[in-house]
């Protein structure tokens, strides 16, 4: 139920899409401070995270979007294939094939490059649920996430992240779904903190070509 409730927030992203590409043109001073960031649904490792629901990666992406909603550094959009610019690119302009508007994204970065370009993003985040374990006896759950922050203009990976989150029921009556949700929330919190600590100076240094010695 917790994961399903999180997915209900996905549709709010569709409302943001119409304004997403206009932020910079309407308010240049604001765009200088806030960079547009598209969050793609996370892939799911077919072996290490096999026991998780199929839509778990999208839930993770929504968690991240919510966590960064009040960020002063990023104007965040959750990617959805139903976003108007994406539908237009597929159905009218035919610059993207239907299957290329859907995941996986972390294992097929070329898709994300094109889709982020269509959405006029400054940066995008792709990732994967790398691991999940649940110990029924100990009543514990662990979630591991891997993610890349990418400069949309060049497709260059600015930062790579590997984070994890754990949850334990202790004496509380908690089922696997609740523990999994808590562990995922902690992993997302750790990832969000790392994203927010990636300063503009770090990004600038990573995007400039190295000088020959």
CATH of the domain at 47: 3.40.50.10610
Residue 170 is predicted with a pLDDT of 85
Task: Give the number of domains in the chain.
Answer: 1
Tell which wins on pLDDT, 194 or 212. Answer: 194
Is-above-0.85 flag for pTM? no
- Domain residue limits at 54: 2-197
pLDDT at position 12 over 60: no
Dist. CA 2–CA 15, nearest whole Å: 23
Does a structural domain hold residue 99? Answer: yes
Does a structural domain hold residue 158? Answer: yes
Span 120-135, pLDDT tens digits? 999 999 999 999 999 9
Does a structural domain hold residue 212? Answer: no
Span 72-91, pLDDT tens digits? 889 999 999 999 999 999 99
Average pLDDT of the residues of the chain:
84
Does a structural domain hold residue 135? Answer: yes
Residue 204 is predicted with a pLDDT of 59
Dist. CA 112–CA 104, nearest whole Å: 9
Does a structural domain hold residue 117? Answer: yes
Cα→Cα distances 33→28, 46, 98, 200, Å: 9, 38, 34, 10
Does a structural domain hold residue 206? Answer: no
């Amino acid at each position: 139920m917790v994961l399903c409730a999180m997915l209900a927030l996905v549709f709010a992203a569709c409302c943001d899409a119409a304004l997403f590409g206009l932020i910079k043109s309407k308010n240049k001073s604001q765009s200088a401070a806030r960079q547009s960031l598209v969050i793609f649904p996370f892939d799911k490792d077919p072996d290490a995270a096999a026991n998780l629901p199929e839509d778990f990666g999208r839930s993770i992406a929504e968690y991240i979007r919510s966590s960064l909603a009040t960020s002063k550094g990023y104007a965040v959009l959750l990617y959805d294939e139903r976003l108007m610019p994406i539908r237009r690119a597929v159905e009218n302009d035919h610059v993207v094939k239907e299957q290329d508007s859907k995941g996986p994204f972390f294992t097929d970065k070329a898709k994300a490059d094109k889709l982020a370009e269509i959405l006029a993003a400054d940066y995008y985040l792709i990732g994967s649920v790398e691991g999940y374990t649940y110990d029924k006896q100990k009543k514990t759950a662990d979630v591991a996430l891997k993610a890349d922050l990418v400069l949309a203009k060049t497709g260059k990976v600015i930062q790579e992240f590997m984070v994890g989150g754990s949850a334990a029921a202790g004496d509380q009556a908690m089922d696997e779904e609740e523990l999994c949700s808590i562990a995922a929330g902690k992993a997302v919190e750790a990832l969000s903190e790392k994203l927010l600590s990636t300063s503009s100076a770090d990004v600038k240094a990573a995007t400039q070509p190295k000088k020959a010695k």
